[in-house]
Amino acid sequence: MIAGRGPSPALCLLLVARLPDTSLTVALASGGRHIFGWGQDRHLAADLYDAINSNTRATGQWGKGKAPKIPAFPRPKAAKAPAKKAGKQPATVAALYQHFQRR
């Protein structure tokens, strides 16, 4: 709300809560852009695909030790966090104070 105009905060929260689970806003709130488009239906379809493949592998008439390896359905993976630099010390209050006192 800017200068008393615009929608109320309660309405904004209500609208955000009603977003579909495949929206970019929900994906970013859930962990990142890599989840975008992955709603409950896609997760269930991927689980069903894996269950059918596991059942096929378990009940098939394969020769001894000849059961095929069926790859799992590709799922989104979180990006790896960059490695922290060793030796870099966290800033202290005194160091921040000195930094902002310089002119």
- CA separation for the pair 82, 85 (Å, rounded): 9
pLDDT at 1 over 60: no
Q: Would you say the pTM of this structure is higher than 0.85?
A: no
Q: Are 73 and 64 in contact (CB under 8 A)?
A: no
- CA separation for the pair 15, 34 (Å, rounded): 23
Residue-wise pLDDT tens digits, 13-30: 899 889 999 999 888 888
Query: What's the mean pLDDT in 69-75?
Result: 88
First to last CA, the chain: 37
pLDDT computed for residue 50 by the predictor: 93
Here the tokens at position 45 are: 């379809």
Burial per residue of 14-32, b for 16 or more beta-carbon CB atoms within 10 angstroms, e otherwise: eeeeeeeeeeeebbeeeee
